[in-house]
């Protein structure tokens, strides 16, 4: 990455000095499953079609379209947010508004970019007026995200925001107390790290440094040996 561009993203995150990445932090293990196959591609396609036609909860009545997810379907990093907003509902892609631009800056400051990760939401439809999703809405949509995780098999899940974190971890603990810890998701015990939502950072820019710390923590987690 160009050093000037990298400096720009670090400054956006409130970081004064760049700490170089260890070489090859995202290198896949040799025994990682090969998802670049016709069967895997078909599974993704069928799931996306199923989501697009979903009527399990009342959110389908007000949506413009579903927001399935985007990115590298063999990515090591899976980033999970809460639900689509107005921009996402219009474009059918997650994190495309102002919060999405800040998420891009967060990734670039960490040495990643949007094409190298996979991004999805807890919900696939926008709640009206961007309200918090109900328990029933989360329950109706939960299986879709679980199947995305099964197909992706990421090495790390980065959860941004309270609603997504509490929904995935089945807890009411605030984000501030979920940070700086390694949680584990599902039977495969996928490492999961929690941080603040980019939309929150737009309202509270002084918290950016905490997110930078969380991203560095996530990098350390993914660099640990699998049997650590």
pLDDT score, position 227: 59
Res 4: pLDDT:
59
The domain containing residue 178 runs over which residues?
Answer: 48-222
174 belongs to a structural domain: yes
DSSP letter (8 states) at residue 180: T
176 domain residue, yes or no: yes
Distance CA 77, CA 66 (A): 22
Could you give the 3-state DSSP secondary structure of residue 93? coil
From CA 116, how far away is CA 226, in angstroms rounded? Answer: 21
Q: What is the pLDDT of residue 60?
A: 97
- The span from the CA of 151 to the CA of 148, in Å, is 5
Structure tokens at 47: 């799931």
Task: Locate 163 and state its tokens.
Answer: 């609603």
For position 211, which CATH number holds? 3.40.470.10
Structural domain count, the chain:
1
* Crossing angle of the two packed helices 3-12 and 98-109, in degrees rounded to 10: 120
pLDDT value, residue 28: 36
Give the CA distances from residue 205 to residues 64, 186, 200, 208, in Å, rounded to whole numbers and listed in that order.
31, 33, 8, 6
Residue 34: inside a domain: no
**Residue 218 maps to a domain:** yes
Instruction: Answer whether residue 151 is part of any domain.
Output: yes
CA dist 62 and 128 (Å) reads 7
Let me know if residue 8 belongs to a domain: no
Q: In tens digits, what is the pLDDT along the chain, a chain of 228 residues? A: 555 555 555 555 555 544 444 433 333 334 444 445 667 778 999 999 999 999 999 999 999 999 999 999 999 999 999 999 999 999 999 999 999 999 999 999 999 999 999 999 999 999 999 899 999 999 999 999 999 999 999 999 999 999 999 999 999 999 999 999 999 999 999 999 999 999 999 999 999 999 999 999 999 999 987 654
> Which phi and psi (to 5°) does residue 47 adopt?
-65, -40
Spatial separation of the C-alpha atoms in residues 17 and 185, rounded to whole Å: 33
Q: Using the structure block, give the residue that is written with the tokens 């000095």.
A: 17
Residue 181 forms part of a structural domain: yes
Q: What is the pTM of this model?
A: 0.82
Report, in angstroms and rounded to the nearest whole number, the Rg of the chain calculated over CA atoms: 17
- For residue 190, give the 3-state DSSP assignment: strand
Cβ-based neighbour number of residue 151 at 10 Å: 17
Residue 37 domain-assigned (yes or no): no
């Amino acid at each position: 990455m160009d050093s000037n561009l990298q400096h720009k993203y670090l400054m956006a995150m409130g970081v004064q000095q760049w700490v170089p990445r260890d070489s090859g932090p995202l290198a896949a293990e040799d025994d990682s499953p090969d998802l670049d196959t016709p069967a895997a591609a078909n599974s993704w396609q069928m799931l996306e079609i199923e989501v697009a036609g979903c009527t399990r909860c009342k959110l389908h009545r007000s949506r413009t379209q579903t927001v399935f997810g985007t990115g590298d379907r063999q990515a090591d990093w899976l980033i999970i947010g809460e639900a689509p907003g107005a921009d996402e509902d219009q474009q059918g892609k997650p994190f495309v508004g102002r919060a999405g631009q800040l998420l891009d800056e967060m990734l670039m400051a960490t040495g990643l970019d949007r094409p190298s990760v996979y991004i999805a939401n807890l919900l696939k439809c926008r709640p009206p007026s961007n309200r918090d999703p109900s328990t029933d809405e989360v329950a109706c949509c939960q299986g879709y995200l679980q199947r995305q995780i099964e197909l992706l098999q990421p090495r790390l899940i980065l959860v941004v925001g309270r609603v997504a974190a509490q929904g995935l971890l089945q807890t009411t603990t605030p984000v501030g107390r979920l940070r700086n810890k390694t949680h584990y998701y599902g039977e495969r015990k996928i490492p999961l790290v929690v941080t603040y939502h980019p939309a929150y950072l737009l309202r509270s820019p002084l918290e950016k440094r905490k997110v930078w710390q969380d991203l560095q923590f996530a990098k350390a987690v993914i660099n640990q040996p699998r049997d650590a």
